[in-house]
Amino acid sequence: MAVLLTVFIISVVFSVCAVLLVLRISHKKKWYDNIDERKIHSGEIPRLGGIGFVSAFFLIASGIGIVYGIKGVNVTRFIPCGIAMGIVMFSGAYDDFRPMSPHYKFLLQVVAAILIISFGFNFDRLLYNGGGFLTDLGYFSIPITLLWIVGLTNAFNMIDGVDGLAGGVSVIIAFFLGLIYFYHSDYEISKSVVLCVCLIGVLVGFLFFNSPFPRAKIFMGDCGSQFLGFTLALLPLMKEADRLTSLPLFYVAALFLIPIYDTTAAVWRRVRDGKHIYDPDKSHLHHKLINMGLSAKKVDAVIFSVQIIIGVFTFIAIQIEGVKSLIILGAVYLFTLVFFTVIHFINRAVLLKNNGGGGGGNPTPASS
């Protein structure tokens, strides 16, 4: 535990220093986020925070790799993961300075995902073996893993709409992933646990500047949100040398239900309305909560609470076996679906009221 605490403290300190440096340079160079009708903030706020905490993560993760290498642990098999994360980082950073075509971003995400998959980092089962369930993904492993990585990379970009939201959700997910790895490692501390702690640390350092208390001083930008989505999608696939299989897809996906449901709903809305799936709108979960009159702090509190509940019960489902595990897992999926459904209908009622009962209509200007 002392090792994990040390990694966490170092990660926080490095991240704070890196983000603070980026913040000062951004103000000096006047690199501010563009304000348009979709944004809910005002004022000159930089959007390059992701460059700071991502750089800190790479630096510390490299140091962790060197330490494990000195101890004789094979870390070279994780080099493709670092290269792929670097591709996503530079793609997002470029987009923060000069908007990149969604098609080019998608292509780079696919390239990074294929690089990961080609070195054996992929889902190979839906559920834990046992209870008579057939769980092997077989030939579907590669396309499902590709969809998983690219989908989550974009999903975290979509939920990054309220101060502290994407970073806070990522901290909670990384915590439960680390907890799962910690309890399922054959030895005291696996590399995956340490990487989860490192990611939590750099995010905590970033959240000192991004939390809505009283307001964010810097945003993570596309560099930060895409990197988070890609890295969190990758962590469940990083099999240890002595582990033949990755974590099961259905259990891991439960931890990501908020971004998965939100993105699925967004894609459905845009296809239904004849729009391109990359066209932004004002109907994401955080927009709906804002329409209901919640402040940024309360939006974070609601979503974080739901994410913690999801994490706790998913962890419990993983700890037990057989039918009981599947019942709890199913309850997690149902609970999150009910939450999204309730918010959807409350938001619809609010919009109808704001539009004089005329139906339809766009959200109020407060819901960027």
Asked whether residue 59 is assigned to any structural domain, the reply reads yes
**pLDDT greater than 90 at residue 6:** yes
Asked whether residue 361 is assigned to any structural domain, the reply reads no
What is the end-to-end Cα distance of the chain in Å, rounded?
A: 42
Asked whether residue 337 is assigned to any structural domain, the reply reads yes
Give pLDDT tens digits for 305-329. 999 999 999 999 988 878 899 999 9
How many angstroms separate the CA atoms of 224 and 207, rounded?
12
Total tally of structural domains belonging to the chain:
1
Q: Which of 185-189, 257-261, 298-302 is predicted least confidently?
A: 185-189
What angle do helix axes 49-70 and 221-234 make, rounded to 10 degrees?
40
Q: Are 102 and 278 in contact (CB under 8 A)?
A: yes
Looking at residue 366, what is its pLDDT?
34
pTM for the whole thing?
A: 0.90
Looking at residue 44, what is its pLDDT?
78
How many angstroms separate the CA atoms of 267 and 281, rounded?
10
Could you give the angle at the alpha carbon of 155 between the alpha carbons of 40 and 286, nearest 5°?
A: 35
How many angstroms separate the CA atoms of 82 and 101, rounded?
24
How many angstroms separate the CA atoms of 229 and 13, rounded?
23
Give pLDDT tens digits for 19-70. 999 999 999 988 887 655 555 545 678 989 999 999 999 999 999 888 888 8
Give pLDDT tens digits for 337-346. 999 999 999 9
How many angstroms separate the CA atoms of 197 and 284, rounded?
29
DSSP type of residue 186: S
Asked whether residue 66 is assigned to any structural domain, the reply reads yes
Q: Kindly provide the residue ranges of all beta strands, DSSP E only, lying in the chain, ordered along the sequence.
A: none
Question: Who has greater pLDDT, 364 or 154?
Answer: 154
In the structure, what pLDDT confidence band is assigned to residue 274 with cuts at 50, 70 and 90? Answer: confident
In the structure, what pLDDT confidence band is assigned to residue 183 with cuts at 50, 70 and 90? Answer: confident
State percent of the chain over pLDDT 70: 89
Those residues with Cβ within 8 angstroms of residue 215's Cβ, 6 or more apart along the chain or in another chain: 41, 163
**pLDDT greater than 70 at residue 361:** no
Looking at residue 365, what is its pLDDT?
34
| Average pLDDT value over all residues in the chain | 87
Give pLDDT tens digits for 73-123. 778 888 999 999 999 999 999 999 988 898 999 999 999 999 999 998 999
Asked whether residue 363 is assigned to any structural domain, the reply reads no
Question: Who has greater pLDDT, 261 or 184?
Answer: 261
Asked whether residue 8 is assigned to any structural domain, the reply reads yes
Q: Which of 157-171, 178-192, 229-243, 334-348 is predicted least confidently?
A: 178-192
Residue 353, burial from CB neighbour count under 10 angstroms (0-12, 13-18, 19+)? exposed
In the structure, what pLDDT confidence band is assigned to residue 359 with cuts at 50, 70 and 90? Answer: very low
Which 3 state secondary structure label does DSSP give 125? strand
How many angstroms separate the CA atoms of 331 and 322, rounded?
15
How many angstroms separate the CA atoms of 174 and 368, rounded?
27
Asked whether residue 360 is assigned to any structural domain, the reply reads no
Of the candidates 68, 117, 61, the one whose C-alpha atom is nearest the C-alpha of residue 237 is: 117
How many angstroms separate the CA atoms of 58 and 51, rounded?
11
In the structure, what pLDDT confidence band is assigned to residue 244 with cuts at 50, 70 and 90? Answer: low
| Domain assignment of residue 190, given as a range | 2-354
Looking at residue 367, what is its pLDDT?
33
Give pLDDT tens digits for 195-215. 999 999 999 999 999 988 878
Looking at residue 323, what is its pLDDT?
87
How many angstroms separate the CA atoms of 50 and 91, rounded?
12
Buried b / exposed e over 158-180, threshold 16 CB at 10 Å, is bbbbbbbbbbbbbbbbbbbbbbb
Of the candidates 264, 269, 297, the one whose C-alpha atom is nearest the C-alpha of residue 282 is: 269
Looking at residue 134, what is its pLDDT?
45
Asked whether residue 365 is assigned to any structural domain, the reply reads no
Give pLDDT tens digits for 124-144. 888 876 443 446 788 889 999
Question: Who has greater pLDDT, 34 or 261?
Answer: 261
Give pLDDT tens digits for 188-197. 567 889 999 9
